[in-house]
Amino acid sequence: MPKVVFIALLASLSGAQAEEAFVTNQLSDDLTVVDLATQKPVATIPIGGKPAGIAVSHDGRFAYVTSPDAKAVTLVDASARKVVGRVEVGGGPLGIAVAPDGATVYVADWYAAAVRVIDAREQRVVASLAVGASPSGLAVTPDGRLLLSADRDDDSVSISDISAHERRGVVKVGTRPFGVTIDAEGKRAYTANVGSNDVSVIDILTAHEIGRVHVGLRPYAVALAQGRGFVTDQYDGKVSVFDLATLQPVKRITVGDYPEGIEATADGKRIVVANWESNTLTMIDAAELNVVGEVKVGDGPRAFGAFLRRTE
């Protein structure tokens, strides 16, 4: 077999072509970069301040990291593997999201019932959006018009108009929502409800909860792929899988201890899970629903947010 063909075959078998994971390690105060094709760490970047939230820009140029203890957001050049900026945001920064055009970054302030708006070019806070109590996960619709925040202590999700800097809707969901994920069409959102052990399904246009899916103990975040939802159940060490059309359970997959961050690769073939207590990433085949790899990372990986980066 010619060498070029052999290399192409290996890439197709890996299911994670030219993609990397940027994993926030809260206890070791750093960021581990993992090549998903080889399933090996390729860099460690010091961050500080107990990093938790992460958002990689859509063009893959930058990763934005929240550090609750430092009350700051760190800007990382993803290709150069180095810190290139830092924005003091105050309060308790946790969840974070980047607008599709990369111009604006949104940071949930856990203590202030607000989302800070950062101008990415100027690297400074330019506005704030009022949301519910203890906002955690954030997500922006694909068209860049709406921002959703999971407001944990209000048991609700806020839907804000980005251009108007105004909250336009509040959706009551399960108890203590944490991670929130929007589908590729921008029609539905899914929030993991830590306190009620379920996932709320939200119709974004009408701002209503349209379904509820029972999952495992202490669900943290949701990923979407292959017509299915994948939910990290922290206390069970498992990922619950459900059908997006019927909202019926499909399977539960054993991963590492205390899984938290979860995201699907761009091709939808793999689900990547950060396991807080195991200090690992688990790779799941999204079609076959089995574990296909594990990678050691730093201490206390959270990877809360959009932590995968396409490199080509």
pTM of the model: 0.94
Q: Which long-range contacts (CB under 8 A, 24 or more apart) does 129-136 make?
A: 129/160, 129/165, 129/166, 129/167, 130/167, 131/158, 131/160, 131/167, 132/156, 132/158, 132/170, 134/110, 135/94, 135/95, 135/108, 135/109, 135/110, 136/94, 136/95, 136/108, 136/110, 136/177, 136/178, 136/179
- pLDDT tens-place values along the chain, 312 residues long: 444 433 344 444 444 458 999 999 999 999 999 999 999 999 999 999 999 999 999 999 999 999 999 999 999 999 999 999 999 999 999 999 999 999 999 999 999 999 999 999 999 999 999 999 999 999 999 999 999 999 999 999 999 999 999 999 999 999 999 999 999 999 999 999 999 999 999 999 999 999 999 999 999 999 999 999 999 999 999 999 999 999 999 999 999 999 999 999 999 999 999 999 999 999 999 999 999 999 999 999 999 999 999 986
pLDDT of residue 3: 43
Q: Looking at domain 19-310, what is its CATH homologous superfamily?
A: YVTN repeat-like/Quinoprotein amine dehydrogenase (2.130.10.10)
pLDDT of residue 18: 85
Q: Phi-psi bin for 268: left (phi > 0), alpha (psi -120 to 50), beta?
A: left
SS (H, E, C) the chain: CCHHHHHHHHHHHHCCCCEEEEEEECCCCEEEEEECCCCEEEEEEECCCCCCEEEECCCCCEEEEEECCCCEEEEEECCCCEEEEEEECCCCEEEEEECCCCCEEEEEECCCCEEEEEECCCCEEEEEEECCCCEEEEEECCCCCEEEEEEHHHCEEEEEECCCCEEEEEEECCCCEEEEEECCCCCEEEEEECCCCEEEEEECCCCEEEEEEECCCCEEEEEEECCEEEEEEHHHCEEEEEECCCCCEEEEEECCCCEEEEEECCCCCEEEEEECCCCEEEEEECCCCEEEEEEECCCCECCEEECEEECC
pLDDT of residue 17: 57
List the beta bridge partners of residue 295: 281
